Every structure is written in C-alpha cells, then in structure tokens.
Structure 1
Amino acid sequence: MTSSHIMELVHVIRQELNLTRGVPPKLETAYEHNDGSLHLVVCDRAEKSLLLGPGGRIAAELAKRTGRKITIYGADEILLRKHRLRLTLSRIEEVAPELTSLQSQVLNCLRYLIEQELSYPNQQIHVDSSIGQNLKVSLAFSGGIDSTAAAMILKESGIIPIAVMVRMDHQFQNPRDIKLAEEWCAQQDIILERIDTANEFSDLVDRVDLGRIHPCGECHSLIIKRVSDFALQNNYEVLVTGELLPSGRQAIVLQEGLLIIHLPAALSLSKHRTEIKAEKSGKQLFRRKFGCNLVAKSHCQGWRTIGPSIFRVLRELEGGILTTGQGLDYIKDIVSSSARERGE
C-alpha cells in the first residue's frame, strides 16, 4: 500500500469525521511488515497527533478501512529511541572488561536485539532462537505485562529464563493473579521459583496504613534485594527485570558480580510493545490497573500517596513509554481506587 493511497484515505476520513483542524498531516514513510501491519512515520509529534485524531479516531478508521493493524510514529520519537539504544550499546562496552564468560554471552545476545530494534520500524524484528545458546538467567517475575514480555523476549532468543516470584500476601497480590502467573509459566515451560517473604513486608504495610509513606519505592527495593540474593545464592550470574523506565546506560547494572539487565528499558520498548508481546504469548490483558492492592489502599490517604502515583505515570508518559490514552487510563484508576478505598 503506497503512501499516497494511505493519505488519500486519511483525507477522506478527516472530512467525513469533520476533523480537519490544522494543516493536513504529511506522511514521510510507510513501512509494511510481513505480518501485514502498517507502520506510518510522520515528521513530529504534532503531525502524529493529527494523524491519530481525537481518541485515535482517525487511525482506528484507517485501520478498519485498510484491514491492517496500524502504528504511527513521530520521526522525533524514533530519533530519541535510537539515541537511547545507542547509549545502551555504549554501556555494554563499559562493563565488558568486568564480565564473566556467561555474562558476556548474554550481552552479545542483547547487542543483537538492540541492532534489530535500531532497524525498527523500517524492518520487522527478526527473531533468532539460536543466539541464546540455551544460556540460563534468572528473571524477576511478577506475572505482570512487562515481566511477561521480558520472559518471552528471552525465550524467543534462545535464553532460558528461570522466573523468580516473590510471594506476598493478599495485601499486595490477588490470589487469582498469582494463579494465572503460575499457569502461564506452566504453559510456556518456564521454571517458576517462589520466594516466601514471611513477615518481611509487615512493617511497610503498617507504615502505609498510617499514611506515612507511599509503598512503591521501598517495596521495589525489597523485592529486587530478595530476587538478587536468590540469584547469587543459586549461582545465577544474570538477573533480568521487566522494568521500562531505566533506559540507556541505566538499563545495565553490575552489582556484586551480578549482572542486572532491565530488558524492556534496554530495548527502549513502550508499554504498547510489551502489551503486544505479552498478549501474543497467551497472557490475558484486563483493564489497566495502576500498582498492587497495597498501592490502591494507600490512595485513601489523599494527595500524599496519590501524588507520587500520578507522578510515576507522568514520568512514563514523558519518557515515551506510555501513550496519552494509556496514561489517562492509569490516572483514572488511581483516582477511582482512592474513591473506592474511602467508600465513595
């Protein structure tokens, strides 16, 4: 499908929907992947906004009429993403002299994946299951979208992920979510190791109940510490996480001999990309929910805890991880969870 044909359709759709404000958007390039999906590149964020339309209405109608899955990019977003990917490559070179043989092999796999991402969306990502050579790594696994996507990226690359889940009580996790995560690992033939926490988080829960802290920062640190300790005690040299924010050089950390790779961040993936990857693996996607049960409970304390949650969403929005629609969904959930916890 040619760029001119696409823009003719866009012009008709804009007229029919009476969405004709501004200068008509200009399409720089259109890439068609082997799966039939269309990837449209416009010059910047403002052009992208006009091509999407309010609430994505123009893009949705374009997808309907072409029968294709459509993704729209600003050229400025692609430039920023490539800059971050090259920063991650530079970090690989920084840590290379300090690595073990296995760690070097894992980072060689990551280097291959980054080179693939640098050619995206011009070319479809080529999956090569031979590059991982059945290397084993530990994976901090919550069963959420991002750690699920990380697990699939590893598996598709021929790396064997050993999923490590920190088991926490109902104040953090719903039993149904834990069961779904366990079933998903079984379906994917991924070994799942569980770490029991006993009463390690009780002090945190008490302070949240008293309105003294927002739980995310401290809880995250405790979980990473427990998973890192597990990895070291069981002779895993690499720990992979599903984190999205620490991109560029911050995506790779060498700590006490343990190589920590925040995989989606290292590949500069968006939440949209991790959602697609997780859904293709068979994970059920429900409505977007911000944080765990304890975070939702903390929101009844008012702005002291609502503010940091919204700030987190804004950071991910600013970082290009979330779309405005995704960000709005999470903020709505934060506000509604506050009302629910107060019984409103």
Structure 2
Amino acid sequence: MKFREESIVKKIAKIRSEIGHKPVESNIIRVLFDDKNNDLVIVAADRSDKSNIIGKGGWVVGRLKEELGVKSIHVVSNSDIILRRYNMELSLTKLKSVINIYNKENPLNNLKILLKYRMEHIYNFNFKNFMETNFYKESKQNQAVVALSGGVDSSFSLILAKYMGFNPVAVTVDPGSIILPKHFHFNIDNLCHDLGVEHHYITVKMDEVIEESLEGKYHPCGRCSKIIEDTVIEYAKKMDIPMVIYGDMLSSGSQSILCENKLIKINLPALLSVTKSEIKNLTLKLGIKGSGFYGCPLLFEVHKKYPHMKKFSLQRIFRETRAGALEPGEALDLAWNLFKKGK
C-alpha cells in the first residue's frame, strides 16, 4: 500500500471541513508506511502543522485512520526531529571518543551501531522492529551496572543494556517503601527474572532526607538522587565493573555519556534521544507500566504539606518537555495529576 502526501493533505482538509474545524493547509514533509505493522507515519513541518493534522481531541487523525484503514497513525513534527537528530549527532561524537580512549569495542560499539541506525531511520525507527532483526553477542564479563528503580525509564535502560550485549547487573537502591513502593519491587523482580539479569537490592538509610523534606526544609529529589547515584557507583567500583547506566532522559547529547576516574556513566535514554512514548511502548511488552503519577510517596507527602514544593517538580516536567522527551499532552497529564493528587 502506498500513500502520497498530496492525497493525505486533501483527506485531512475534507475531514476538518466535515467535523466543523476551520480550513487550514496542512504542510506535510513526507509519509512513511510500515506494511508489516500496518502503521503510518506522517511527518509534519512543525508543531503547528502537527496540531492541525491531529485536530482537537484527536478527531481529525482518528477519522483519517478509519478512512485509510490503517492500524495506527503517528504524527511527528520535523522541527522536533531536527533537534533530536542534532542531539544524537552530539551523542555519537562523544560515544566515538569514549570508544577510542577506552578501547571498548564491545558492547559500546553495538551501541554506536544502534545510534547510527536510529539516526538514519529517524522518522520511523521502532525499537521492537530493530530488536527483532538485529542480534548482538553478549559480553562474557559484566560490563555495566544498571540503576533500576522499577519505573519505565530505568526498565527501558535495563532491557536495552541486556539486548545490546552489556551483560548487565541490575542494582536497586532501597531507602524503604516511602521512596521505593512495594509495587515497584514487583516490576523489578519480574523484569530481572524475564531478562535473566542478576539483580541486587542495596538498603540505604535516608532518614535525614525524609525527615528534613517532611519538615519543609527542601525538595527531596536532588538529595535522594545523589545518594542513589553514589551508591550505584560505589557498587560498580567494588565489583570492578567499568560502566554505570541510568534511565535519565535529560542529560542529552555530549552530556549523556561521561567518564570519571575510568568509570563510564551512560544516560541511555538521553544518549538515544528517546521519547517517553517510545519507552512506554517497549517496556509495556514486558509488563512494565508507569504509575501515571509524578514521583514517590515521600514526594506526594511533601507536596501535600508544602504545596509550594510542587513548583520544583513542575520544573522537571517542563525540562523534559523542552528537551523533547515528553509530549506537551503527556506533560499536561503529569502536571494535572501532580496537583490533583496533592490536594
């Protein structure tokens, strides 16, 4: 089946007219169709064109999907793609320099192959399709420690690290259920079992962080993250494992892979300029679901007692949106739940 940009533009104009939307000219750069999955990707010129194609409440793209008889339609903004491609170019340059310095041909070289392929197929790259058709030999030695919280971002990083041949060890820093809820243990244990990954819980005390944040002295996330990062790095050094992988989506481009004292730190989603929807699509296939809310039970209590602290949580959501990791609609849902849950 083949679709042409001109015919899609005409159909969109017709649908908008029929449902009472004002007439606009949709600027479509290209259309790509995946015969195997019956998926259509429409590349709009920018976010305004993307909004016009989707329509209010998704009505336009919903009708278009029905009329074309496809399983799904993904509308992407070319202006967003340009930013993501630029970030990936920075990541690739930094990754190559790390490979040259540390001579880590495998599995960092596998990661380089994935990154280059993703850049070449940026409009319609699909992790599931790539993983079904490309296979990598696993390192005999543990090459990476993955910081696993049980959320979708760190779960994505573990799945990819295992697939790319890092032979990872998963480490979960456990400060107690007020920060790491019991249902996250379920995600962690099941994922590690399904992937066949060695996993360790490391208990830490965060009494001071918990007490002082509940007293309103500060927002807990920064201090909590620092303790978790230090604990994971300490474990990697103790076990003589050369790399640590995180699920951070923000430290993109050249900052997504850092070398400190011969330890390589990789923010995998950021390095690949992955979107939250891509992360959810992959992790859902292994039974990992996001909570739909922002933060942990401790943060919920802090928000409840000190509503002004929500400002700092919102800053994180906005930063991920600005970086292209979150769609505006996803950010709106998180922000809305942040205020709704904290009442």
- Under a length normalisation based on structure 1, what TM-score does the superposition of the two structures give? 0.90
Alignment correspondent of 2:145: 138
Cα shift at 1:89: 1.3
CA distance in 2, matches of 1:132, 1:245: 28
User: Does structure 2 conserve the Cα–Cα contact (< 8 Å) formed by 1:214 and 1:308?
Assistant: yes
Match of 1:326 among 307, 330, 333: 330
2:240 alignment partner AA: N
1:76/1:221 Cα in 2 relative to 1: closer, same or farther (>3 Å)? Answer: same
1:51/1:182 Cα in 2 relative to 1: closer, same or farther (>3 Å)? Answer: same
Alignment correspondent of 1:302: 306
CA distance in 1, matches of 2:63, 2:155: 31
Alignment correspondent of 2:245: 240
Alignment correspondent of 1:161: 168
Cα shift at 1:189: 1.8
Alignment correspondent of 1:84: 87
Cα shift at 1:133: 4.6
Question: Secondary structure at the residue paired with 1:105?
Answer: coil
User: Does structure 2 conserve the Cα–Cα contact (< 8 Å) formed by 1:164 and 1:192?
Assistant: yes
Comparing 105-114 and 277-286, the one that deviates more: 277-286
Cα shift at 1:161: 2.3
1:111 alignment partner AA: K
User: Does structure 2 conserve the Cα–Cα contact (< 8 Å) formed by 1:152 and 1:281?
Assistant: no
Question: Secondary structure at the residue paired with 1:281?
Answer: coil
- Under a length normalisation based on structure 2, what TM-score does the superposition of the two structures give? 0.91
User: Does structure 2 conserve the Cα–Cα contact (< 8 Å) formed by 1:302 and 1:338?
Assistant: no
Alignment correspondent of 2:15: 13
Match of 1:278 among 275, 278, 283: 283
CA distance in 2, matches of 1:338, 1:216: 16
Identity of aligned residues (%): 23
Alignment correspondent of 1:342: none
User: Does structure 1 conserve the Cα–Cα contact (< 8 Å) formed by 2:149 and 2:184?
Assistant: no
Post-superposition Cα deviations, 1:54-73, rounded to whole Å, max 9, x if no partner, equal 23332233334433222111
Cα RMSD after superposing both structures? 1.9
1:88/1:121 Cα in 2 relative to 1: closer, same or farther (>3 Å)? Answer: closer
Is 1:30 matched up with 2:43? no
Comparing 119-128 and 255-264, the one that deviates more: 119-128
1:16 alignment partner AA: E
CA distance in 2, matches of 1:313, 1:131: 37
Alignment correspondent of 1:54: 56
Post-superposition Cα deviations, 1:70-94, rounded to whole Å, max 9, x if no partner, equal 2111111111111100101121234
Alignment correspondent of 1:215: 220
1:312/1:285 Cα in 2 relative to 1: closer, same or farther (>3 Å)? Answer: closer
List alignment gaps of at least 5 residues for structure 1. Answer: 340-344
1:79 alignment partner AA: I
1:28 alignment partner AA: I
* Map 1:105-144 → 2, pairs under 5 A: 105-122=106-123, 124-125=125-126, 126-127=130-131, 128-130=134-136, 132-133=138-139, 136=142, 137-144=144-151
Post-superposition Cα deviations, 1:270-291, rounded to whole Å, max 9, x if no partner, equal 11111111112232345x1101
Cα shift at 1:122: 4.3
CA distance in 2, matches of 1:217, 1:104: 34
2:183 alignment partner AA: R
CA distance in 2, matches of 1:213, 1:249: 30
User: Does structure 2 conserve the Cα–Cα contact (< 8 Å) formed by 1:41 and 1:74?
Assistant: yes
2:257 alignment partner AA: I
Cα shift at 1:13: 2.4
Cα shift at 1:309: 0.5
Cα shift at 1:166: 0.8
Question: Secondary structure at the residue paired with 1:71?
Answer: strand
Question: Secondary structure at the residue paired with 2:168?
Answer: strand
Cα shift at 1:329: 0.9
Is 1:45 matched up with 2:47? yes
Is 1:95 matched up with 2:105? no
Alignment correspondent of 1:171: 178
1:133/1:61 Cα in 2 relative to 1: closer, same or farther (>3 Å)? Answer: farther
Match of 1:183 among 163, 178, 190: 190
Post-superposition Cα deviations, 1:7-58, rounded to whole Å, max 9, x if no partner, equal 343223212322225x221222111223222111111111111112223332
User: Does structure 2 conserve the Cα–Cα contact (< 8 Å) formed by 1:55 and 1:325?
Assistant: no
List alignment gaps of at least 5 residues for structure 2. Answer: none
Q: How many correspondences in the alignment?
A: 333
2:41 alignment partner AA: H
1:306/1:182 Cα in 2 relative to 1: closer, same or farther (>3 Å)? Answer: same
